[in-house]
Amino acid sequence: MKRFILALALAAGLPLAVNTAQAAAFNQVQADKSAIAFTYQQMGVKVDGKFRKFAAKLSFDPAKPTEASTAIDVDLASVDTGAPEGDQEVAGKPWFNTKAFPTAQFVSTGVKALGGNRYDVAGKLTIKGKTQDIVVPATFTAQGNSGVFDGTFTIRRGDFAIGEGAWAKFDIVANDIQIKFRITAATGK
Amino acid sequence: MTKRYTSTAKALHWLMAVLLFGLLALGFYMHDLPLSPQKLQLYSWHKWAGVTAFLLVLARLGWRVTHIPPALPASMPRLMQLAAHAGHFALYALMIAIPLSGWLMSSAKGFQTVWFGVLPIPDLLDKNKELGDLLAVVHKGLNLLFVAVLAGHIGAALKHHFIDKDDILTRILPKH
């Protein structure tokens, strides 16, 4: 009798499981619930900034995390450095040179599940014509039919020639830039 | 009644005189500069020196409440004595208010003050552009007022020395 109920439950549950697996591919990015921010150090002072505009594409199925992929384009001219005169400066040639290189791009090349809700997203980050292989740690939290990806990673601005000339030394503006992101995506219909 | 300032009082007076002239000059010089690494460096130095000046003012106030400063010459008219006290009160008030306004402005503008790049001074205000701009005006206005009161302070000291020929200036000098 017990076994029969178990079989029944399994039979009933199976199609349900398949359904949720299909429905659980998160691929509709919700820009209004997503953010890309950064923190830099200026003579020991932590300053927060963010990018107001970016376009993210993403596909993630918790059941098949290794098949996940993402591509994020950040509009570098939309930078908010925390100070208006900083925004103008950073768009200029020594920094992002947004006229020649308007966007920064991250394209994933592979996803590794670390257990729990933690993942390592490997990919190529291109800023100012320079590409680096990076690994971005991210956590995934499902909230109803949308999922939130959170993570923080550090890049070195020197690797991308962000801040040349007088800014090239790291004594005033530090080399390490911490990037914090939150990408929210809903399941596809 | 004491006749002389202690060496501590004299040292604090002249140390602050040098520091505050440096701070004023730096402040008026740096705020118009185009953004550069040097500007950011000068801003940091200005803030570090400002925190230092604030701590020195607290030390001076500590001296002031535990010592009775030498009296003003009896030959001074009452109104002049009153003006001298009011002037010194204004100097102390501004030496407290100016670094406070700078600190609050830094917080409102989103740039925390980190003393010598090591010791973070807590932000009392959240980042707020309008408030930051307002506090910048307050900081500048208080400094212009400070320059005016300082001019009175120095002018009065010189008048005492060269016209009244009393010991008001010499009694704060190191070897007196």
pLDDT over 70 (residue B166): yes
Q: Residue A5: pLDDT band by 50, 70, 90 thresholds?
A: low
Q: Residue A20: pLDDT band by 50, 70, 90 thresholds?
A: very low
* For A81, nearest residue in chain B (alpha carbons): B110
pLDDT over 90 (residue A18): no
Q: Return the DSSP state at B103.
A: H
* For B107, nearest residue in chain A (alpha carbons): A47
What average pLDDT does the structure give for chain B?
95
What is the nearest CA distance from B55 to chain A, expressed in angstroms? Answer: 20
pLDDT over 60 (residue A74): yes
Alpha-helical segments (H) within chain B: 7-30, 37-66, 78-108, 129-159
Please answer yes or no on whether A45 and B36 come within 8 Å at the CB atom.
no
Q: Residue A1: pLDDT band by 50, 70, 90 thresholds?
A: low
The predicted model gives B165-172 an average pLDDT of: 93
Which of B110, B116, B117 is facing A47, going by the closest CB pair? B110
The predicted model gives A143-164 an average pLDDT of: 95
Give the type of residue at B144: L
Mutation choice for B interface testing from A42, A79, A85 by most B CBs within 10 A: A42
Tokens of B58: 């607290």
CB atoms within 10 A of CB A154: 12
Please answer yes or no on whether A85 and B109 come within 8 Å at the CB atom.
no
The predicted model gives A74-97 an average pLDDT of: 94
Please answer yes or no on whether B44 and A45 come within 8 Å at the CB atom.
yes
Counting residues of chain A whose pLDDT is more than 90, the rounded percentage is 79
The predicted model gives A78-92 an average pLDDT of: 92
Q: Residue A149: pLDDT band by 50, 70, 90 thresholds?
A: very high
Backbone angles phi, psi at A186, to 5 degrees: -95, 160
Q: Residue B35: pLDDT band by 50, 70, 90 thresholds?
A: very high
Q: Residue A17: pLDDT band by 50, 70, 90 thresholds?
A: very low
Interface residues of A toward B, Cβ cutoff 8 Å, are: 42-48, 82-83, 85-86, 88-89, 166-167, 169, 171-173
pLDDT over 50 (residue A25): yes
- Are the beta carbons of B91 and B149 closer than 8 angstroms? yes
pLDDT score of A95: 97
pLDDT score of B176: 63
Please answer yes or no on whether B40 and A46 come within 8 Å at the CB atom.
no
* For A169, nearest residue in chain B (alpha carbons): B37
Mutation choice for B interface testing from A39, A41, A43, A162 by most B CBs within 10 A: A43
* For B32, nearest residue in chain A (alpha carbons): A85
CB pairs under 8 A between A and B: 44
pLDDT over 50 (residue A16): no
Chain A hits for B41, CB-CB cut-off 8 Å, are: 43, 172
Please answer yes or no on whether B44 and A42 come within 8 Å at the CB atom.
yes
Please answer yes or no on whether B113 and A45 come within 8 Å at the CB atom.
yes
List the domain boundaries for chain B: 7-172
CATH of domain A26-187: 2.40.128.110
Please answer yes or no on whether A43 and B117 come within 8 Å at the CB atom.
yes
Q: Residue A7: pLDDT band by 50, 70, 90 thresholds?
A: low
Q: Return the DSSP state at B4.
A: S
Predicted complex ipTM = 0.81
The predicted model gives B25-46 an average pLDDT of: 95
The predicted model gives B105-121 an average pLDDT of: 95
CATH topology (fold) of B7-172: Fumarate Reductase Cytochrome B subunit (1.20.950)
Please answer yes or no on whether B35 and A44 come within 8 Å at the CB atom.
no
pLDDT over 80 (residue A98): yes
d(CA B136, CA A88): 20
Counting residues of chain A whose pLDDT is more than 70, the rounded percentage is 87
- In tens, the pLDDT along B44-98 reads 999 999 999 999 999 999 999 999 999 999 999 999 999 999 999 999 999 999 9
pTM (whole model) above 0.95? no
How many degrees, rounded to 5, is the angle at CA B83 between CA B79 and CA B86?
135
Please answer yes or no on whether B37 and A42 come within 8 Å at the CB atom.
no
List the domain boundaries for chain A: 26-187
Tokens of B146: 């400070």
Tokens of B13: 């007076």
pLDDT over 50 (residue B30): yes
